[in-house]
Each structure stands twice: as structure tokens, then as C-alpha cells.
Structure 1
């Protein structure tokens, strides 16, 4: 499939997850208008943190997730608030020049098995919740843990992956994890590392 690319550092989208976005740049306002007039889909990707003079040539990671616009609010000054619902992860086949102010690409949306996964084991689920509580306490976050405990396994793991303050490469590794079990294992490791790194500026939860 062909879709507009929306590079956002630190923002990842998973199948069956949602991502609210505030759209203010003129080129991305046009992207939203075009998407609404078309099939309503936008490809969310992360930029690689390499300095370039022209951000239209910013290197991006080859794996992202297609988001379908399920919520749309146009503000008086032309900005948008949108909500994307993740459908499929993809690998970029190639970028295409459509003479739009935003980037576009042909995507392989069959690159991953994004069927609804099997639930986690009880031990794995408990470990995720325990490490999430520890990290939340270490960061001084106010969290409704009773609401968190009611999330299903996939939603819990993906929600933490989306909101936790991991760096771009760590978030990308979570996105690219082939299975929910693999993502869960990596998420637990990243939460433990981030918690232990609090107060030690020499430690950063980074994946190379």
C-alpha cells in the first residue's frame, strides 16, 4: 500500500492501540486533509537522530505502523487534533515523490504477523505490572493502578511501551519485536534499567 509518512521521534503505534496527536505544522495539516479525503490512513515512523540540513531527507527507521484516523477535530486556526488506531506494522519498500510537502512511501503491510496474540503467562503478566509500579514510583508518577490492572495483556505492554520515557532506539526495538512475549521481555529489561539509572546520569536506557 501507499501512504503518507509522519515521522515523530519517541512516538510509536501498535496494532489495536491508539495514538492521539496534535497536528500544527502546515505540511502535516495538508497531510491530514489529504488523508481524510482519501483512505484515512497515515504511516507513523520514527526519525533516526542524525543531523541533516533538510528534514525532508531525515533518515527514518524502516519499520512503523499504519494508523487509521478514528477521531478528528479541526481547530479554528487550521490545526487538528486526531486519534489514530493502529492497523498493521509495515516495512518501507521505497519512498515515492508525489510532489506533496510531506513524504510518502510504498509499504509492505504483510511484513509482520499482527494477528491478536495469545495472552501472557501469569508470571510474565505479574512481572510487567510489578516493574511498571516500581518505575512509576521511581519517576514520581501518579498512576491509577487499578485501571492498569484491568487492561488486557497486549494493551498493557503496548501502552507502557508508548508512554515510558525510553529513547528512540529503545522504542523502535519494542515496535519491531516479533511477538508479544518478546516485547514483554524487552520491556521489563528496559523498565528495570531506566529505574536503576535514575540518579545516575551516566546510565541511559539505550539500544544500539
Structure 2
């Protein structure tokens, strides 16, 4: 566990459209671009081993979202051709500050952690979560998108793991993923997630009517 006092002022950033990392969740990544291979090698030399996942805006190097989430490298394997398969474990969200100039081929920036102190705590609970209606909505969404899952595992998952895993895995667009990331807490994230699924289903129904 990383304490607030251990969080660095400057971290490397990995802008990746649609890739969402949340605190206490895990994100597998395939690293193959030379600049990010260099970033990964440098990260392994640091005590915290943190990488900041962030959404690019208007092109990868032109703009970045205001808020991202840092993950700690907790596992990796190297392929025969020099690529890495890594696992990031979400630690805390951050607010983006100014970029740090230097000779590194990847982006480094100052970040602020103060607004997200709750991220370093225990898993969140959602006292108003009505699981069965939510799972019925999820089932309709999966059927409409022709998706499959292990329903037994979903039903047994704790609130945070269920909501955060779905937020990371479901095929929403970049702005929707950012809204899920920026949700103040788990109840708000669950509400956004449900609204996104309802909207997708409604849009699909309208599309069917037009085709008819």
C-alpha cells in the first residue's frame, strides 16, 4: 500500500484513448512503442513504480484530460521480441499540472493528489445500490451488444469491484470513460454507468425503429 506521503510530485504519463484505470482495480497493458518501452524501463527503477493513465484530447501530444489515474506496476512479462505485458494496479486519481521538460521520449508532468485522498482508503461501499434491477439492466445491455460474461461471478462481486470493472470494460467512448473516472464516488459512478447503458439501449431502440 502506498501512503499519501509516498506519492511523487512528477510521474510519467501514458495517454491511451479509452483505457480507464480506477483505484484498487487492475488494468492489463501491452507495451510495444519504443518511447513507452523506455518509460517502462525507467519506471521500474523508481520506488513507487507509478504510471499515470490519462485520456488524450485532440491528438495524443496536443492535449490531455485534466484528471487521470496512476497505477503501480505489479506484474509484467517480456515477450521474445522485446515487448512487455504489464499489469497496473490503480492507486489514486490525480489532477494534471504542468509538463516537465527533459530528454525522456515520453511525457512527464507534475500532478496534484490532494483532491483524491479517498482513493488511498479501503474499498468504497454503495448503500443505495439496488443490485437486482442493475443486473437486469446490465443483462439487457449485454444482449443488445451481443456480449457475454460470467453472471455468477458478477452476482458475487462486491459493489466496488462490480461497478469499477464494468466501467473499465464496457465499450463506452472516451468522454464517457472520463466521466466515469471523474465521478466523486462509487454511488455517482454507478449512476453514470446505469445512465450510459440506458442511453445506449434507447439509442438502439430508436435505430431499430428507423430501420423498420
- TM-score, structure 2 as length reference: 0.87
Contact 1:128 1:184 in 2 (8 A): no
Q: Superposed, which structure 2 residues align to 1:107-186 within 5 Å?
A: 107-112=111-116, 113-114=118-119, 115-116=121-122, 118-121=124-127, 123-186=129-192
For structure 2, the residue ranges without an aligned partner over 5 or more in a row are 1-8
In the alignment, does 2:55 pair up with 1:36?
Answer: no
Contact 1:15 1:87 in 2 (8 A): yes
Structure with more helix by fraction:
2
In the alignment, does 2:53 pair up with 1:47?
Answer: no
- TM-score, structure 1 as length reference: 0.89
Q: Aligned partners of 1:106 and 1:126: how far apart in 2?
A: 43
- Which of the residues 76, 79, 86 maps onto 1:72? 76
Count residues in correspondence: 197
For structure 1, the residue ranges without an aligned partner over 5 or more in a row are 203-208
TM superposition outliers: structure 1 runs of 4+ over 4 Å: 199-202
Contact 2:24 2:123 in 1 (8 A): no
In the alignment, does 2:199 pair up with 1:193?
Answer: yes
Contact 1:117 1:180 in 2 (8 A): no
More deviation in 178-187 or 126-135? Answer: 126-135
- Which of the residues 16, 21, 29 maps onto 1:13? 21
- Are the structure 2 counterparts of residues 127 and 95 from structure 1 closer, same or farther at C-alpha, using a change threshold of 3 Å? farther
Q: Deviations over 1:131-168 (max 9, x none)?
A: 21111111111211001111110111111111111110
Q: Aligned partners of 1:33 and 1:118: how far apart in 2?
A: 33
What SS does structure 1 have at the residue aligned with 2:111?
strand
